[in-house]
Copies of this chain bind each other. A is one copy, B any other.
Amino acid sequence: MRRTKVACLGNKGAYTHSAAELMFAGAELATYAHVKNVVMAVENGEVDYGVIPFENIYNGKVIGTLDSLVSLTRQSSIVRELATPIVHCFGALKDHGQITQVMSKDQALEQCEAYLSENYPQAEQVAVANTVLAVERIVKEQLKNAGAIASKKGLEGLEILAEDICPNNLTRFFALGKQPTKLTGDDKTFISFHPYVTDEAGVLYNCLSPLKLFNINMADIFSRPDKNPEKRSYHFFVEINGHKEDKLVKRALEDLKLYLDPQGKYPDAVRIYGSYPNTHWDEIKKT
Protein backbone atom coordinates (compact mmCIF):
# COMPACT_ATOMS: atom_id res chain seq x y z
CA MET A 1 0.00 0.00 0.00
CA ARG A 2 1.21 3.47 -0.88
CA ARG A 3 2.18 5.63 2.12
CA THR A 4 -0.05 8.66 2.77
CA LYS A 5 1.65 11.84 1.60
CA VAL A 6 1.20 14.98 3.68
CA ALA A 7 2.35 18.51 2.90
CA CYS A 8 3.12 20.86 5.78
CA LEU A 9 4.60 24.25 6.48
CA GLY A 10 8.19 24.80 7.60
CA ASN A 11 11.06 22.52 8.45
CA LYS A 12 11.44 19.49 10.65
CA GLY A 13 11.11 20.62 14.26
CA ALA A 14 8.74 23.49 13.41
CA TYR A 15 5.39 23.41 15.18
CA THR A 16 3.34 22.69 12.02
CA HIS A 17 5.61 19.75 11.20
CA SER A 18 5.01 18.28 14.66
CA ALA A 19 1.26 18.80 14.26
CA ALA A 20 1.34 16.97 10.92
CA GLU A 21 3.17 14.04 12.54
CA LEU A 22 0.50 13.87 15.24
CA MET A 23 -2.37 14.10 12.77
CA PHE A 24 -0.98 11.59 10.25
CA ALA A 25 1.23 9.10 12.09
CA GLY A 26 3.53 7.20 9.75
CA ALA A 27 2.84 9.43 6.76
CA GLU A 28 5.49 10.73 4.41
CA LEU A 29 5.86 14.46 5.10
CA ALA A 30 6.83 17.09 2.52
CA THR A 31 7.66 20.60 3.75
CA TYR A 32 6.81 23.83 1.97
CA ALA A 33 7.84 27.42 2.68
CA HIS A 34 4.40 29.01 2.39
CA VAL A 35 0.84 28.14 3.35
CA LYS A 36 -0.33 28.67 -0.22
CA ASN A 37 2.18 26.11 -1.51
CA VAL A 38 0.77 23.58 0.95
CA VAL A 39 -2.77 24.31 -0.25
CA MET A 40 -1.74 24.07 -3.90
CA ALA A 41 0.02 20.74 -3.28
CA VAL A 42 -3.31 19.34 -2.07
CA GLU A 43 -5.28 20.97 -4.90
CA ASN A 44 -2.89 19.62 -7.53
CA GLY A 45 -2.95 16.12 -6.10
CA GLU A 46 0.79 16.07 -5.26
CA VAL A 47 -0.14 15.04 -1.71
CA ASP A 48 -3.14 13.48 0.03
CA TYR A 49 -3.33 16.04 2.82
CA GLY A 50 -1.92 19.43 3.77
CA VAL A 51 -1.46 20.76 7.30
CA ILE A 52 -1.60 24.51 7.94
CA PRO A 53 -1.75 26.67 11.09
CA PHE A 54 -5.11 28.38 11.55
CA GLU A 55 -4.92 30.34 14.78
CA ASN A 56 -2.86 30.94 17.87
CA ILE A 57 -4.52 31.81 21.12
CA TYR A 58 -2.20 34.81 21.59
CA ASN A 59 -1.70 36.03 18.01
CA GLY A 60 -5.16 35.28 16.64
CA LYS A 61 -5.95 34.00 13.16
CA VAL A 62 -3.23 33.30 10.60
CA ILE A 63 -4.27 35.66 7.84
CA GLY A 64 -2.23 33.85 5.17
CA THR A 65 -4.14 30.66 5.90
CA LEU A 66 -7.47 32.42 5.73
CA ASP A 67 -6.60 34.07 2.43
CA SER A 68 -5.39 30.77 0.98
CA LEU A 69 -8.59 29.00 2.01
CA VAL A 70 -10.65 31.72 0.35
CA SER A 71 -8.67 32.10 -2.85
CA LEU A 72 -7.11 28.69 -3.53
CA THR A 73 -9.38 25.90 -2.34
CA ARG A 74 -11.54 24.45 -5.11
CA GLN A 75 -11.58 20.69 -4.66
CA SER A 76 -9.99 20.43 -1.24
CA SER A 77 -11.62 21.13 2.09
CA ILE A 78 -10.85 21.05 5.80
CA VAL A 79 -11.02 17.46 7.03
CA ARG A 80 -9.41 17.61 10.48
CA GLU A 81 -8.44 20.05 13.22
CA LEU A 82 -5.81 19.69 15.92
CA ALA A 83 -4.67 22.09 18.60
CA THR A 84 -1.25 21.54 20.14
CA PRO A 85 0.35 23.31 23.11
CA ILE A 86 3.18 25.65 22.17
CA VAL A 87 5.78 25.49 24.93
CA HIS A 88 8.26 28.31 24.50
CA CYS A 89 11.52 28.20 26.46
CA PHE A 90 14.27 30.76 26.95
CA GLY A 91 17.94 29.96 26.43
CA ALA A 92 21.37 31.54 26.15
CA LEU A 93 25.00 30.43 25.90
CA LYS A 94 26.30 28.55 28.96
CA ASP A 95 28.79 31.36 29.66
CA HIS A 96 26.31 34.14 28.86
CA GLY A 97 26.61 37.59 30.39
CA GLN A 98 23.84 40.09 31.01
CA ILE A 99 21.07 39.61 28.43
CA THR A 100 20.69 42.79 26.38
CA GLN A 101 19.08 41.21 23.32
CA VAL A 102 16.34 38.64 22.82
CA MET A 103 16.03 36.95 19.43
CA SER A 104 13.16 34.92 18.04
CA LYS A 105 10.40 34.89 15.48
CA ASP A 106 8.15 38.00 15.62
CA GLN A 107 5.17 35.99 16.75
CA ALA A 108 7.04 34.19 19.52
CA LEU A 109 8.34 37.54 20.83
CA GLU A 110 4.76 38.83 20.88
CA GLN A 111 3.49 35.74 22.66
CA CYS A 112 6.19 36.01 25.34
CA GLU A 113 5.69 39.74 25.90
CA ALA A 114 4.62 39.30 29.54
CA TYR A 115 7.66 37.17 30.41
CA LEU A 116 10.08 39.48 28.61
CA SER A 117 8.80 42.68 30.12
CA GLU A 118 8.98 41.15 33.58
CA ASN A 119 12.41 39.53 33.24
CA TYR A 120 14.25 41.47 30.53
CA PRO A 121 12.47 44.84 30.32
CA GLN A 122 15.58 46.58 28.99
CA ALA A 123 16.56 43.96 26.41
CA GLU A 124 16.20 44.77 22.73
CA GLN A 125 13.87 42.40 20.90
CA VAL A 126 15.20 41.20 17.56
CA ALA A 127 12.85 39.46 15.14
CA VAL A 128 14.39 36.82 12.90
CA ALA A 129 12.79 34.59 10.26
CA ASN A 130 12.39 31.56 12.52
CA THR A 131 13.27 30.38 15.99
CA VAL A 132 15.94 27.97 14.75
CA LEU A 133 17.82 30.82 13.09
CA ALA A 134 18.01 32.74 16.38
CA VAL A 135 19.70 29.83 18.11
CA GLU A 136 22.10 29.25 15.21
CA ARG A 137 23.18 32.87 15.22
CA ILE A 138 23.83 32.97 18.96
CA VAL A 139 25.95 29.82 18.75
CA LYS A 140 27.80 30.76 15.56
CA GLU A 141 28.55 34.34 16.49
CA GLN A 142 29.00 33.44 20.20
CA LEU A 143 26.61 36.22 21.26
CA LYS A 144 27.09 36.18 25.04
CA ASN A 145 24.54 38.92 25.67
CA ALA A 146 21.75 37.41 23.58
CA GLY A 147 18.94 35.04 24.52
CA ALA A 148 16.61 33.08 22.25
CA ILE A 149 13.01 31.91 22.49
CA ALA A 150 12.23 28.54 20.94
CA SER A 151 10.91 25.10 21.83
CA LYS A 152 13.07 23.06 24.22
CA LYS A 153 14.25 20.96 21.29
CA GLY A 154 14.90 24.10 19.25
CA LEU A 155 17.24 25.49 21.94
CA GLU A 156 19.75 22.64 21.52
CA GLY A 157 23.27 24.01 22.04
CA LEU A 158 22.11 26.66 24.52
CA GLU A 159 21.51 26.51 28.25
CA ILE A 160 17.78 26.58 29.07
CA LEU A 161 17.16 29.40 31.53
CA ALA A 162 13.36 29.16 31.73
CA GLU A 163 10.69 26.73 30.52
CA ASP A 164 7.12 27.36 29.34
CA ILE A 165 7.46 31.13 29.50
CA CYS A 166 4.13 31.69 27.74
CA PRO A 167 1.63 29.52 29.60
CA ASN A 168 -1.54 28.06 28.08
CA ASN A 169 -0.29 28.81 24.59
CA LEU A 170 -2.06 26.83 21.89
CA THR A 171 -2.00 26.78 18.09
CA ARG A 172 -4.80 25.19 16.13
CA PHE A 173 -4.05 23.49 12.80
CA PHE A 174 -6.28 22.37 9.95
CA ALA A 175 -5.69 19.43 7.62
CA LEU A 176 -6.95 19.83 4.07
CA GLY A 177 -7.90 16.91 1.88
CA LYS A 178 -10.07 15.90 -1.04
CA GLN A 179 -11.99 13.02 0.55
CA PRO A 180 -15.30 14.15 2.05
CA THR A 181 -15.61 13.46 5.79
CA LYS A 182 -18.38 11.40 7.34
CA LEU A 183 -20.71 12.59 10.09
CA THR A 184 -19.40 11.56 13.52
CA GLY A 185 -22.18 13.14 15.56
CA ASP A 186 -19.79 15.75 16.96
CA ASP A 187 -18.45 17.80 14.06
CA LYS A 188 -17.80 21.41 13.16
CA THR A 189 -18.13 23.24 9.85
CA PHE A 190 -16.21 26.33 8.77
CA ILE A 191 -18.09 28.70 6.47
CA SER A 192 -17.95 32.26 5.20
CA PHE A 193 -20.66 34.54 3.93
CA HIS A 194 -20.58 37.81 2.13
CA PRO A 195 -23.58 40.14 2.37
CA TYR A 196 -23.70 42.20 -0.80
CA VAL A 197 -25.72 44.83 1.07
CA THR A 198 -23.68 45.59 4.17
CA ASP A 199 -24.59 49.01 5.41
CA GLU A 200 -28.08 47.96 6.25
CA ALA A 201 -28.48 47.56 10.01
CA GLY A 202 -29.35 44.05 11.06
CA VAL A 203 -27.87 42.16 8.10
CA LEU A 204 -25.66 40.04 10.34
CA TYR A 205 -28.55 39.50 12.73
CA ASN A 206 -30.65 38.23 9.86
CA CYS A 207 -27.80 36.01 8.65
CA LEU A 208 -27.65 34.33 12.04
CA SER A 209 -31.38 33.80 12.15
CA PRO A 210 -31.42 30.40 10.31
CA LEU A 211 -28.72 29.14 12.69
CA LYS A 212 -30.79 30.25 15.66
CA LEU A 213 -33.95 28.70 14.16
CA PHE A 214 -32.33 25.26 13.95
CA ASN A 215 -30.48 25.64 17.24
CA ILE A 216 -27.02 25.53 15.64
CA ASN A 217 -24.26 26.82 17.92
CA MET A 218 -21.49 29.10 16.65
CA ALA A 219 -18.02 28.21 17.93
CA ASP A 220 -16.39 31.31 16.42
CA ILE A 221 -17.18 34.37 14.33
CA PHE A 222 -15.11 37.16 12.81
CA SER A 223 -15.24 39.54 9.89
CA ARG A 224 -12.60 40.65 7.37
CA PRO A 225 -12.83 43.66 5.12
CA ASP A 226 -12.78 42.83 1.41
CA LYS A 227 -9.44 43.85 -0.10
CA ASN A 228 -11.07 44.76 -3.39
CA PRO A 229 -11.57 48.55 -3.25
CA GLU A 230 -14.49 48.27 -5.66
CA LYS A 231 -16.50 46.45 -3.04
CA ARG A 232 -15.20 47.58 0.32
CA SER A 233 -17.49 45.37 2.31
CA TYR A 234 -17.10 42.62 4.86
CA HIS A 235 -16.79 38.86 4.70
CA PHE A 236 -17.96 36.98 7.77
CA PHE A 237 -16.32 33.75 8.83
CA VAL A 238 -18.20 31.46 11.15
CA GLU A 239 -17.38 28.10 12.65
CA ILE A 240 -20.53 26.23 13.58
CA ASN A 241 -21.19 23.02 15.47
CA GLY A 242 -22.50 20.27 13.21
CA HIS A 243 -21.61 18.62 9.90
CA LYS A 244 -22.54 20.16 6.55
CA GLU A 245 -24.39 16.95 5.65
CA ASP A 246 -26.44 17.14 8.82
CA LYS A 247 -30.06 17.81 7.84
CA LEU A 248 -30.50 20.95 9.95
CA VAL A 249 -27.08 22.43 9.15
CA LYS A 250 -27.69 21.85 5.47
CA ARG A 251 -31.07 23.55 5.63
CA ALA A 252 -29.76 26.52 7.65
CA LEU A 253 -26.95 27.13 5.13
CA GLU A 254 -29.39 26.86 2.24
CA ASP A 255 -31.63 29.42 3.94
CA LEU A 256 -28.66 31.74 4.49
CA LYS A 257 -27.69 31.41 0.83
CA LEU A 258 -31.24 32.10 -0.29
CA TYR A 259 -31.45 35.19 1.92
CA LEU A 260 -28.14 36.66 0.71
CA ASP A 261 -28.41 35.65 -2.92
CA PRO A 262 -32.03 35.00 -3.93
CA GLN A 263 -31.15 35.24 -7.66
CA GLY A 264 -28.20 32.83 -7.42
CA LYS A 265 -25.84 35.44 -8.85
CA TYR A 266 -23.02 35.26 -6.27
CA PRO A 267 -21.23 31.92 -5.88
CA ASP A 268 -19.29 33.30 -2.91
CA ALA A 269 -22.35 34.58 -1.01
CA VAL A 270 -21.99 31.47 1.17
CA ARG A 271 -18.95 29.18 1.08
CA ILE A 272 -18.32 25.97 2.99
CA TYR A 273 -14.65 25.17 3.68
CA GLY A 274 -15.26 21.75 5.21
CA SER A 275 -16.64 19.69 8.07
CA TYR A 276 -14.38 17.90 10.55
CA PRO A 277 -14.60 16.10 13.87
CA ASN A 278 -14.75 18.49 16.84
CA THR A 279 -11.65 18.07 19.02
CA HIS A 280 -12.98 20.52 21.61
CA TRP A 281 -9.60 22.17 21.44
CA ASP A 282 -10.73 25.20 23.43
CA GLU A 283 -11.40 22.91 26.38
CA ILE A 284 -8.05 21.11 26.20
CA LYS A 285 -6.60 22.89 29.19
CA LYS A 286 -9.70 22.38 31.28
CA THR A 287 -9.35 18.62 31.44
Query: Are B218 and A221 within 8 A (Cβ)?
Result: no
Min distance, Cβ A246 to any Cβ of chain B, angstroms: 13
| CB of A189 to closest CB in B, whole Å | 14
Known: A127-B127, A232-B286. A63 touches B63 (CB 8 A): no
Q: How far is the CA of A117 from the CA of B59 in the complex (A)?
A: 25
A96 contacts partner chain B, Cβ-Cβ < 8 Å: no
B129 and A129 within 8 A (CB):
no
Cβ distance A126 to chain B, nearest Cβ, rounded Å: 5
B229, A217: Cβ atoms closer than 8 Å: no
* Chain A count of residues within 8 A CB distance of the other chain: 53
Closest chain B CB from A108 CB (angstroms): 11
Q: List 22 A-B contacts (CB under 8 A).
A: A36-B113, A60-B61, A60-B224, A64-B113, A105-B127, A106-B106, A106-B107, A125-B129, A199-B217, A201-B215, A204-B208, A204-B218, A204-B221, A205-B205, A205-B208, A205-B211, A205-B212, A220-B223, A221-B222, A229-B285, A232-B282, A232-B286
Interface residues of chain A, those whose CB is within 8 Å of chain B, are: 34, 36, 57-61, 63-64, 105-107, 110, 113, 117, 125-129, 168, 199-202, 204-205, 208-209, 211-212, 215-218, 220-225, 227-230, 232, 234, 236, 241, 282-283, 285-286
